[in-house]
Every structure is written in C-alpha cells, then in structure tokens.
Amino acid sequence: MKDAAVLASPTAYADAVASAVSAAAAYYADGSTPLGDDEYDALVRAIEAYELEHPDQVLADSPTGKVAGGAAEGDVPHSVPMLSLDNVFSAEELAAWAEGLERRLGHPVDGWCVEPKLDGLAVAARYRAGRLQQVLTRGDGLAGEDISHAADAVLGLPAELTEPVDIELRGEVLLTQEQFEHANQVRVAHGAAPFAHPRSGAAGTLRAKDRPYRIELTFFAYGAVGVEDLDHSALLERLAVLGANTAATTAAHPARCATLAQAQQRVAEIAELRATLPFGIDGVVIKADAAADQQQAGSGSRAPRWAVARKLAAQHKVTRLLAVEWNVGRTGIIAPRAVLEPVVIDGVTVTYATLHNPADITRRGLLIGDQVFVYRAGDVIPRVEAPVLEERTGAETPIVFPAACPRCGDAIDTSEQRWRCVRGRGCQAVASIRYAVGRDQLDIEGLGGTRAVQLVEAGLVADVADLFALTREQLLGLERMGETSTDNLLAAIETARTAPLARVFCALGVRGTGRTMSRRIAAHFGSMAAIRAADADTLAQVAGIGAEKASVIVAELADLAPVLDKLIAQGVGTAVSEPAAATAEPATEGEAGPLAGETVVVTGSMTGALAALSRTETNELIERAGGKASSSVSKRTTLVVAGEKAGSKRAKAEELGIRILSPEEFAVLVADQLA
C-alpha cells in the first residue's frame, strides 16, 4: 500500500480536508490543481485513515466516498449514477484488490478486461433511435453539466449510430497530442493564451461557447447504459459496431485476460507504451469482464466494486530552478510558484511548477539555481519534487521568503503552513467581487471582471457590501459607463439586495462553506445579524458543522465583521428569508410551506415548469416550500420527484413505498413558490 501521511490532530485533519477539496475543485473545473495526483491520493488516504479512527469527527465536505471528491456538480440528472474508480498503486495492491473481489463473489473472477485509463473528461452521450440528443459531463456522479453544444467538434462521437437504438455511451473526451498542439496554434492566432496542458484544454473547450474558432477533440467509449447484459469485452466490440470510437483502435487496446497474472502482464505492457501513445494516460483500468460478476459485486457510493485503476508513476525530468514567484489568491493565501528552465515532459513544455507553501520549500531544501526533479503529477500539474544535491556548484542562492504581502505590502500571517495576507479577502478585492456576483451567488449581470477592476481601482468598492452603496453619479463617472449600462447595473444590484440570505452568505466565500452549507446556516439562523453574533458552539449545532469547522467559520466571520455590519445596515439578504427545513431538524407544523416535514429527492430529467431550473434552483425551491432537499433515496426520504429516465432512485423509492410525483404534479404542489 502506498504510504500516506498521518494526521495527528483535528486541526491537521480539517486542513487536509480543505486542501483536498480545493485541489479537487480546481482539477474538475479546468484541469489545474495545487496538488499533484500522487499527493492528492496520499492526502485522501490520510483523511480516510483519520476518519476510520475518529468517525465522530468526519466533516461534511470530506472528499471520501464521493465522486470527483465532491467537487464537481451538474444540473442534468444522470439516468444511472456515473461513478469514479478506486485506485491501487502497485502490483501487490492490485493482487490484494482482486483477492478481495473474489472473496466477495465467493468464486474466481471469470476473466479480466484491461484497458488504458485515458486522461480527459468523463462524459455521457445520450442517443434516441440512434441519434445523438445530449452530452453531459460526469459532474458529481448524480447530475452533470450539459455540453451538447460542443458535440459536433468531438471526433469518435457520431451524430448518428449505425443502428436506431436508445443508448447512453459513456467514455472520455480528450485532446490528442496532435490536437493539443493544433489547438494552441489556433488560440495564439486568435490572440488567446495557449492551453497549459491537454486536460485543461479539453475542459476549457468542452465548456466554451461562441468561440470564433473551432478546436477538435476525440472521444473514446468505455461503457454504456441501455445495452443488454454483455461481458465488458463484448460490450466494447458492440460499441465499435455502433460507430463509437474505442481504445481498440490504439496500441493500448483493451485485452481480455483469463488470469490475474495475464492482466498484470497487460498492465506492464500498456505502461511501457505510455510514452509512445498519441494521448495521455495516467493509469490502467482492470475490470471483471463477466457481466454476471459485475452485477454480483455491485457498486459503492463512489465507485464500482468490480473495477479499479492501477495508477502509474509520474514521469520525471531534471531542470533548473530559476526563481520563485509569490502569488496571492482570492482569500489572501500566498502561494509560491517555481519558475523553471523550460523542459519537455510527456510532450508538454513545462516552465512553472507548484511549491505549495513555504514549509514545503524548507522541507525540500530548495535553492535558486538548483537542478531539480520535476514531474507532471497524474500527467497534469507539474511540481518540483527535490533538488539534485550532487549537481550543486556552490553558486546556488537561498529562496527569499516575502516579508510583506507581495500584492498589497501589508503584513503576513505565518501562523499556519499556508501563509496569508492579514487583509485576507481585502487584498484580492477584485477576485472576491467577481466570485460574489457569480450566478450561484448574487447573480449580478453587467458586473464582469473589467467592471470589477474599475470599481476597485476607483476606490468605490472594497468588498461586496460596497456594491449596494453605489450611486448613479459614481457609476456615470467611470469610463464606458453610459446612462443605459449604469441604470441596468443599478437595477441588477437592487435585485441582488433581495436575494435569499443563503445566497448572500454564500457570496462572502467563507472557508468551510459552500452553497449547501450556506443554505443550512441561513436556515438555522434566519438573519445575517444572527449569523454575525454566532459563536462556535452555536454554529456547531448546524447539520454538517462540527466543532473543528465551527471554529474556522467563527474566525472567518470575525474577519468579515465590517462587511457583515454593512450588509445588515443596508438590509441585504433580509427581504427573502430561508426556511428552517435546510437544517437537520424537520419543519414543524407551524412553519409555512407545502413541503413542511418532507425530505425530497429529485431524479431524472425534469419537464414542465421544472425544466428551466438548475439543480441548485430546484433545491432552493424545495427549501422555500419548507422541505429538505436530498440527493439519495433512503428510509428518511418522504417524497421522490421522478422525471424521465429516473432509473435506480425511482426503483428504490418504489421498493421502500415512498410517495412518487411527476415533475408536473410536484409543480402544482409548490405552485406558490414557483410563482
């Protein structure tokens, strides 16, 4: 088993969870992350070990047991959960995993299928009567993001299959090395920055709309929903017959192996091919081939029990450390970045690499001018591993740590491993404003990055509360702000003034909270003033917040006290209150709302009045109606809203005798909240 760090205290555990969540969020957003793949895996193992020893201290946002580490989300429900894979890191771990699977089955596995683990974005492509209808990202495994607009640029994903079947292909979309190089040529020609690496290029391309240029990607199918029970190797052959591209066309083609020894040999063969493949891989996937074995083994909440990823070692190169840059993030975190003599790793030119924090630099004993080992962890994010001590000449110089914030010049809080400007968010006011006005927070149209920079540089806005004090005269005094754009922006700000308390609180970007936790906090306290006055003991009563996270939030609220006071004085977030149903306690009879006391799960594709709502908006609707939104069906569930292709959740609800409504019936029930 790969070694994992030992977390010795609740604080170390909370920091580890925060680091893992942040890294996963960056990775699944655009392919970037402050942690290497190896480091992330080790961090999650350390978190799992701590939670096993301290089950009463598990934080709600822990990445364990969650698809994509709980970082990704989506608005369109999957017909069947789209899960991740568990990892092993050696031949010994693979053998132990296989032995455990056979113990679970009670008999030897009937063959293995071995295939490359492609380094792209997992997608689901829905076909009806053989015609492509919709393409979704994996998201959180239960719902994904609709990226159908990008489908015509994805090679290997046919608009029409060879047979008129209803099927959902599942696979990976990526940029081959040739496509990556061409994409960067096109982007530079159009004045855009080149992609850092193929994965971020694929993520950005799939999500982009209305670009003046076209970038092609490639799809590789590795599974499907809606096909008769086939062994996995036979399924891949079936998908190829239907016209979908699979890895069978590559040197790393899937292979059926009768024994685990043969499977181990195929893993080694694919690993040897890695450097010659026209696309990136970060591992090899081993699956029980027989459909009967897969069905018997089943799946957990995060991953199937019949498949595992054998992760491959990161590829290393040696280059020179030229300098260290110090960058300041949105919350004031000061992060070092290594500037490297350019080096090509796995076909990608690397000039920068992560260093994480000052303690990491000290621990590695790095000096400017050192020859250093660099690797692209998980074939994505470069990081500096260690200096090559025997190559030192004596001309190397110490890395100079900043004595003051490199952005604003104020003092630095060095009490934790991750240094932070004492001004916190105030140091990066533009980034904080841009986050606050986003769609899932205050949703203020007309306040993009350029306008935020103008407002901050003009001294009109230092934090989100200042937006609500802007006057018409102040805005008209800015460049390129005419009467129409000024009036539109003021109207959007005025609309945001009446946003639900949960959205206003979420806009503050408090560490340890997100959209779901913000709704719970808002529902529990009912007003910004009550949140402002809360102590750690009171916050710990909110579902999902333990003592450790409560202390972090209280410290954040103390930093934000001036902002909170201004929001309270301006009446922001008080016009629409949130119901108490978002807390762990059910709504009482005295509380308004047709869903009082109900725990509601929404599954399948929504139709009618609900079709226009995102998953976040649907959850908010449930809570406005007095209910509690949930993502999984259990004995505590009292109502399931089942749309098209509701799948396993509807089946489980029927099995448990839970009330089921169609989207149209549910819309009638909550008509007052929809209005």
Tell me the C-alpha distance between 161 and 167, whole Å.
10
- In contact, 305 and 286? CB cutoff 8 Å: no
Q: 149: which DSSP letter?
A: G
Which amino acid, one-letter code, is at 182? Answer: H
**Interhelix angle for 260-273 vs 91-105, to 10°?**
140
Which amino acid, one-letter code, is at 441? Answer: Q
Q: 54: which DSSP letter?
A: -
Q: Among 269, 297, 267, 295, which residue's Cα sits nearest to residue 283?
A: 267
Cα–Cα distance list, 175 to 246, 267, 665 (Å): 15, 23, 44
Phi (first) and psi of residue 233, to 5 degrees:
-60, -40
Q: Among 369, 345, 340, 343, which residue's Cα sits nearest to residue 355?
A: 340
Tell me the C-alpha distance between 123 and 137, whole Å.
4
Both tokens of residue 504?
């206003």
Q: Among 567, 533, 571, 535, which residue's Cα sits nearest to residue 550?
A: 535
CA atoms within 13 A on the CB side of 474: 17
Instruction: Kindly tell me the burial class for residue 481, based on how many C-beta atoms sit within 10 Å of its own C-beta (0-12, 13-18, 19 or more).
Output: middle
Which amino acid, one-letter code, is at 335? Answer: A
Distance of CA 153 to the CA centre of its chain: 24
- In contact, 407 and 426? CB cutoff 8 Å: no
Contacts (Cβ under 8 Å, ≥6 apart) of 583: 520, 523, 524, 542, 543
Q: Among 471, 473, 528, 472, which residue's Cα sits nearest to residue 500?
A: 528
Distance of CA 190 to the CA centre of its chain: 29
Question: Annotated catalytic sites, by residue?
Answer: 117
Phi (first) and psi of residue 244, to 5 degrees:
-85, 145
Tell me the C-alpha distance between 216 and 129, whole Å.
26
